[in-house]
Amino acid sequence: MVKILLLLSLAAIAMAQMPPPARPTMGRVLRENPLLDQLLAADAQVQVLASGMAWSEGPVWVKDGKYLLFSDIPNNSVMKWSEAEGLSLFLKPSGYTGTGPYSREPGSNALILDSEGRLISCEHGDRRISVLTKGGGKRTLVDNYQGKRLNSPNDLVYKSNGDLYFTDPPYGLPSQDSPLREMDFCGVFRLAKNGVMTLLTKEMTRPNGLAFSPDERTLYVANSDPAHAVWMAFPVNADGTLGNGRVFADVTAMVKDHPGLPDGMKVDRGGNLFAAGPGGIHVYAADGKRLGRIDTGQRTANCNWGEDGSTLYIAADSYLCRIRTKTKGNGW
């Protein structure tokens, strides 16, 4: 008996010392400029962490709990992933609390945390931006502009002064020309810390992902229009409004041969842009120089930094992925 127990103990120790099984990988890194080597190691790979979602979006890392939250929009759910526990359901419903079917994408889209660590959600079906309170209930932050209901808030980002910037295309409506639609444009808005709403621009046909440069002097906004698939760069005025935008990068020519459109994006501490678009995550230097692409092989929706700030989590169609980087996200 003693011998058996000893053998079992030795086996347990050996198993504990074994490295975890290698995760499956997907896609490849396409290097178009040597500067990309400063951001991604030569052996960097896209690891697959979970699959089976209908359309994954809006990843956000929760530092206190060491886990990731992300949306599965068609399934009206927020999912949770951690290294220790894998994938689980965090919240359902996430973006539509009505009865009966509503649209193909009723759930939450982008997720972020506010300065208090509360979950802020762009809700497609309920057409609002909400905050999940510490007690577990939700409160509406904004659901209209000048008395007209929002289309379906898509992505959002906080400025360091507490103002919330967000985009409002129609993707969560039953149809893009739905009679439920109350505004005849797709706006980029600011919800100031004092609650005042400002329309910043309505010149973009399908505004989507957005991100500030590290110095907050530039706001990047993706346009998910296959006829004009671009990322815009808007100067941020001293009062927080936007100046005239310029095309930062144009990938319209890629749309016909690669899955996806300009979508969610994040900026690293050096000002480099990691932007979901046709064929994966496009990487640009702050001066607009194209560095390369993380080719996922999937329609890629969004990305965000996690762990110690150097891991980029990627929402790509039905997959949740990650890639280790040599940089860190802005704010880490």
- State the pLDDT at residue 5: 44
- Which of 74-78, 98-102, 116-120 shows the lowest per-residue confidence on average (mean pLDDT)? 98-102
* 3-class SS of residue 7: helix
Let me know: does 126 contact 97? Beta carbons within 8 Å. yes
Reply yes or no: is the peptide bond before residue 20 cis, omega within 30 of 0. Answer: no
Region 235-259: what's the mean pLDDT? 98
- Please state whether beta strands 144-145 and 138-142 pair in parallel, antiparallel, or not at all (unpaired): unpaired
Residue 70 clears pLDDT 70, i.e. is over it = yes
Closest CA relative to residue 302, chosen from 158, 108, 31, 37: 108
Let me know: does 71 contact 78? Beta carbons within 8 Å. yes
Residue 69 clears pLDDT 80, i.e. is over it = yes
Let me know: does 133 contact 112? Beta carbons within 8 Å. no
Of the pLDDT bands very low, low, confident and very high (cuts 50, 70, 90), residue 19 is low
* The pair of three-digit structure tokens given for residue 64, joined into one six-digit string: 């206190």
Residue 3 clears pLDDT 90, i.e. is over it = no
- State the pLDDT at residue 323: 98
Residue 10 clears pLDDT 80, i.e. is over it = no
- State the pLDDT at residue 18: 53
- State the pLDDT at residue 84: 95
Query: Rounded CA gap, 267 and 327, in Å?
Result: 10
Query: Rounded CA gap, 134 and 69, in Å?
Result: 16
- State the pLDDT at residue 20: 58
Let me know: does 176 contact 170? Beta carbons within 8 Å. yes
| Stronger pLDDT, 2 or 81, i.e. the higher one | 81
Residue 237 clears pLDDT 80, i.e. is over it = yes
Closest CA relative to residue 299, chosen from 25, 54, 32: 54
Rounded to 5°, angle at Cα 142 from 161 and 312? 60
Question: CB burial class (10 A; 0-12, 13-18, 19+) of residue 38?
Answer: middle
Please list, in sequence order, all residues whose beta carbon lies within 8 angstroms of the beta carbon of residue 63, skipping any fewer than 6 positions away.
none
Residue 285 clears pLDDT 80, i.e. is over it = yes
Residue with tokens 């936007």: 242
Q: Percentage of residues in the chain with pLDDT exceeding 90?
A: 91
At position 89, the amino acid (one-letter code) is L
- State the pLDDT at residue 46: 98
Rounded to 5°, angle at Cα 240 from 220 and 145? 90
Question: CB burial class (10 A; 0-12, 13-18, 19+) of residue 294?
Answer: buried
| Stronger pLDDT, 217 or 9, i.e. the higher one | 217
Average pLDDT score, the chain: 94
Domains and CATH numbers, the chain: 23-324 (2.120.10.30)
Residue 209 clears pLDDT 60, i.e. is over it = yes
For the entire predicted model, the pTM comes to 0.93
Q: Percentage of residues in the chain with pLDDT exceeding 70?
A: 94
Per-residue pLDDT reduced to its tens digit, 127-166: 999 999 988 899 999 999 999 999 999 999 999 999 999 9
